[in-house]
Amino acid sequence: MRTPSPFHDANASAGGKSFGDLPEWDLSDLYAAPDAPEIERDLDWLDAECRSFAADYEGKLAELDAAGMRDCIHRYEKIDSVAGRVMSYAGLRYYQKTTDTGRAKFLSDAQDRITNATTPLVFFSLEVNRIEDARLDALFAQDDALARYRPIFERLRAMRPHQLSDELERFLHDQSVVGAAAWNRLFDETIAGLEFDVEGEEAEGPLGIEATLNLLSDPDRTRREAAAQALARVFGKNIALFARVHNTLAKEKEVEDRWRNMPSPQTGRHLANHVEPEVVEALRDAVVAAYPRLSHRYYELKRKWLGLDKLEVWDRNAPLPMEDPRQVDWDEARETVMTAYADFSPKMAEIAEPFFDKGWIDAGVKPGKAPGAFAHPTVADAHPYVMLNYLGKPRDVMTLAHELGHGVHQVLAAGQGELLSSTPLTLAETASVFGEMLTFRKLLSQAPDANARKVLLAGKVEDMINTVVRQIAFYDFECKLHDARRKGELTPDDINALWMSVQGESLGDAFTFMDGYETFWAYVPHFVHSPFYVYAYAFGDGLVNALYAVYEEGNPDFQEKYFEMLRAGGSKHHKELLAPFGLDASDPAFWDKGLSMIEGMIDELEAMEAQG
């Protein structure tokens, strides 16, 4: 049941009405209202169908013939779809205003109801994992309609070594609503309710976290510093709560991992992503080895451009002195992204069009709205929804391109059906990062002069450093955090020290770090909502850089191959998806190919600097 989460760590912030007519979600394609009778109808159906499903199949899966197993899977898929529709509606309403207690209660009650309804289904994966391989292979050979679900069986069965008793699995299922889900909500509501008194911004009153983070990219260095200091003050005051959230979630994960005999804290994420641990480690090692060639070099350039002896953390996302600080209104942002999509393929723009016209995007910044941006696929028989916090910055245009790429991917993958449409995180970033790249290349080709080209290149390098270098540093922080938690409770100072241990290494000698920056781990939602998610961003960026290089080389029928890859959803392994492009993510040299694209842009920036 896919409850949406604001995973994309977008550079969005507080806004107003000056960017044009910003769209809002129309959730009526899911349900007309929270009191719509269809919601209770669907919940009642789930109660009855889950009981009926268990009565029909519990203890009998191994005896089913091919037709019987196919019918069983179709019924299971329908249950997943109905539950996913309810949870998508409840979750999307909640993220529109996380401080609304009524919306929070509706989400919590829906989660409780669905958890209770689906408890009888816990047997399903347990029994599937007890079926002999030869038996399943024979069933797949007899029925092509069943065989298309083979990837689902393979992913379930990857958990066989880590499966607990039926009774324990039921307990974990029932207990989930007061476990991680409850701590996630506490984190979300705390973050959304924080207020920041930023020196010099008194006329605006206390700012929310998005507005304050937005000031870190303000042209005025004094305002950036004031925002950073305000963030540090508020995080510092709340650090005990954030440390409690992280301690509890990391310990809960350690307990469950230990019972499941998981060899590492990362194993569950790798299994969910359908990616081999050695592939992730090759990615991680390649990026860390490239820190000096990427982030260290770039930030040394930026230090010179800003005319500073040292960069402070509030300079990391500062605009360049030669950058035009103009704001981009919504219509221009839409036109920029849609033109870039259409230039690649009119079909891509056609798929994206309804997002703007049918209430599939919620763009404005509003009190209590979740920070960042995301695209949620909802269910296969509906459509995705995109959330932004649009502020008219050039980076907000790139965020639109990113999330719209997710949306296009999700629309195309929906044809696989509910169980096969969901894409592993490592591949879920493919279309989003590719959409960003198309938009960037379009803008770069239209740059009127060398100065404009420099600004665009620098902006893209910064975005890729944030996506690759910063996310791998985040991944290393998480690895250290979970390893340390296994040895005992972590104080806020312990967690702060782990955070700082990866910051200097990844950012380089161009930086000094203000007092208080050690608490900035506290607001990153990925660590709370989805441990070890973050390497998927670096995976997706490296994959897309390699993929785009193939596109530029004129690979025959690239567009159609690309759409076929997106249509596959979660039905194919990354090796199979990349083969038509002559790429292989399990080859260590693959990651160097992607990183070399970033390095080449920094080479060009250094050459431009040398020429004056």
Residue range 81-135, pLDDT digits in tens: 999 999 999 999 999 999 899 999 999 999 999 999 999 998 999 899 899 999 9
Q: Are residues 7 and 133 in the same domain?
A: no
Q: Are residues 35 and 177 in the same domain?
A: yes
Last residue of a domain, one of 164, 181, 198: 181
Range of the domain at 58: 31-181
Is there a domain that residue 313 lies in?
Answer: no
Residues in the chain, total: 612
Task: Name the pLDDT band for 316 (thresholds 50, 70, 90).
Answer: very high
Is there a domain that residue 310 lies in?
Answer: no
**pLDDT tens readout for residues 516-529:** 999 999 999 999 99
Last residue of a domain, one of 422, 455, 489: 422
- Mean pLDDT score, 517-546: 93
Is there a domain that residue 35 lies in?
Answer: yes
506 Cβ partners below 8 Å, 6+ apart? 291, 295, 469, 470, 472, 473
Q: Are residues 5 and 43 in the same domain?
A: no
What local confidence, expressed as pLDDT, does residue 612 receive? 65
Query: Quick one: which of 539, 543, 578, 583 has its CA closest to 281?
Result: 539
Strands 361-362 and 374-376: unpaired
Task: Name the pLDDT band for 197 (thresholds 50, 70, 90).
Answer: very high
**pLDDT tens readout for residues 416-426:** 999 999 988 78
Average pLDDT, the chain: 91
Is there a domain that residue 484 lies in?
Answer: no
Instruction: For residue 148, give both structure tokens.
Output: 């298309």
Is there a domain that residue 587 lies in?
Answer: no
C-alpha separations of 98 from 85, 94, 186, 512 in Å: 19, 5, 10, 35
User: What residue type is 243 in one-letter code?
Assistant: A
Q: Are residues 5 and 106 in the same domain?
A: no
Q: Are residues 56 and 152 in the same domain?
A: yes
Instruction: For residue 558, give both structure tokens.
Output: 């690239």
Is there a domain that residue 176 lies in?
Answer: yes
Evaluate whether 433 touches 544 at the Cβ level (below 8 Å). Answer: yes
Q: Rounded CA gap, 320 and 69, in Å?
A: 60
Is there a domain that residue 526 lies in?
Answer: no
Task: Name the pLDDT band for 611 (thresholds 50, 70, 90).
Answer: confident
The number of angstroms, rounded, from the C-alpha of 249 to the middle of its chain's C-alpha atoms is 19
Is there a domain that residue 17 lies in?
Answer: yes
For the ranges 391-395, 410-414, 588-592, the maximum mean pLDDT occurs at 410-414
Q: Are residues 2 and 128 in the same domain?
A: no
Q: Are residues 15 and 142 in the same domain?
A: no
Number of domains making up the chain: 2
What local confidence, expressed as pLDDT, does residue 5 receive? 42
CATH of residue 143:
1.20.140.70
